[in-house]
Amino acid sequence: MNENPLKLGVVGCGWAGRMAVDAGMTVPRTTVAAIAEPVEELRNQTVEEYGVTKTYTDYRQLLDDKEIEAVYLAVNPPMRYQMVLDSFDAGKHVLVQKPHAVRAPEILEFETKAKEVNKTLQFCYFMRHYPHNRRIRAAVAAGEIGDAYHARIWGNYRSRPEPEGMTKWLQVYGQKGGVLGQHYSHELDLVWFWMGCPKPEWAFGVKHSVYPLYDGPEGPAEDYYSGIVGLAGGKTIQIDCTRWLHTKTPTVIELYGSTGAIAGGKITRLDDDLVTEDPAAPTDVTHTQPEHTPVFYYEIEHFAMAVAGEVEPDVNAADSYQFMKILDGLYDSARDGRQVSIE
C-alpha cells in the first residue's frame, strides 16, 4: 500500500457504497478510513465484509473527522445536494455518485463551491474509466470508424424496487431514479463519451409507468423509457430501456460511423463479410492492474490521481452539467409530450 494513501470516507452503505469501500480498500493509493450509514444492518455488513474500523451514523460526524481527506457520496440525489455543499465546507475532496443531481443547475453550485475551497470535485460514471472503454473513445477520436453519427442503446434491467424505505425515491418521476436515470444513464453517458461529449441540442422521449407504486404529485417513475437526443453536428443517440419486461432481450450498446462501428466492445466493419477487431488505441490514463478488480476500481484510482493533480477529474463538472441537461431534457420531454430544446 502507498505510504500516504488518500483517506476516504464513504457515506451510504447500499450497493454503491459497499462497492466504493471495496475499491477504496483495493486501490494502492487510497484507504477507507470511515463510513457513515444510519441503517445498522448495512453499517455492520460493510464492517464485516471489508474491515472498516471507524463508523458513524450521521454523515456530519464523518465530515467532522479530521483524518478524512475525501468523501464518496453514495446516496440518492434528493439527499445528496446538501451533503456535497457540507463536504466542501468541511474541507473535503468530493466524489459524487450518479445520478449526479435532481436538476442540472445543482452541478454549477457544486462547481462554484469546489472552486471556492480549492478542492477536487469528480462525478461518477464508472464505465468511462475501464481501460477498454477509453481505448474505444481514443479509436473513435482517431477516425477508426469514420464520422460517428448515431448510437443505439437497448437495455432490460429486470428489477422492481420497493416503494418504501431507502428505495422510495426510485419510484418518483423526475428524481432520476427510474430506469433511465438510475440504470441506463450509465450506457447513455458511455456512448456520449465515446462520441467525444458533443453538446446536446434537443431531446424527445416517451415513458410508460406500467407498474406504478407512487401516486404523489410528480407521478410514478418510468418502467419503460424510449427517447432520442440530438447533439451538435447532427449526431444522435437513441435509447430504449426498461426495468421490467416479459422478455430477456440482451443489452445492446452500439455506435455507428461512416466507415465502421462499435459493437460488442469491438470495432466492426462490413465489407464482403463482417470484420471484427479490438480497439488498439492507447489509453490516456495509466492504471495499476490488480488481481482483484472491484467494479469502481479505476474510477476511485482516477479520483485519487485527480486529487494529487496528476490528471483532470473525470467526469468533470462541465461534462456532468451537459449530461444532466440531457437527462433533464429527456425527462421533461416525456412528461410534457413534446420535443425539448436544450439551451
Per-position pLDDT tens, the chain of length 343: 467 899 999 999 999 999 999 999 999 999 999 999 999 999 999 999 999 999 999 999 999 999 999 999 999 999 999 999 999 999 999 999 999 999 999 999 999 999 999 999 999 999 999 999 999 999 999 999 999 999 999 999 988 888 888 888 999 999 999 999 999 999 999 999 999 999 999 999 999 999 999 999 999 999 999 999 999 999 999 999 999 999 999 999 999 999 999 999 999 999 889 999 999 999 999 999 999 899 999 999 999 999 999 999 999 999 999 999 999 999 999 999 999 999 8
pTM: 0.96
> What pLDDT shows up at residue 190?
98
Gap between the Cα atoms of 317 and 48, Å rounded: 35
Q: CA 333 → CA 77, 171, 328, distances in Å? A: 20, 18, 8
Torsion of CA 317, 322, 326, 332, to 10 degrees: 90
Beta carbons within 8 Å of 2's beta carbon, 6+ residues apart: 28, 29
pLDDT the model gives residue 139: 97
Question: Cell match 440504470: residue?
Answer: 183
Give the mean pLDDT of the chain: 96
CATH class of 128-280+322-341: alpha beta
User: Per the structure block, which three cell numbers stand in for 116?
Assistant: 471556492
Domain 6-126+292-315, CATH among 3.40.50.720, 3.20.20.140, 3.30.420.40, 3.60.20.10: 3.40.50.720
Return the DSSP state at 223. Answer: S
CA distances from 152 to 98, 145, 160, 180, 254 (A): 21, 15, 24, 14, 5
Question: Which of 163, 166, 162 lies closest to 74, judged by CA?
Answer: 166
List, by residue range, all CATH 3.30.360.10 domains of the chain. 128-280+322-341
265, amino acid identity:
G
Would you state the cell numbers that stand for residue 293, as one nine-digit string? 478488480
Closest CA relative to residue 69, chosen from 304, 334, 235, 324: 304
Residue 307 CB burial class (10 angstroms; 0-12, 13-18, ≥19): buried
pLDDT at 1: 47
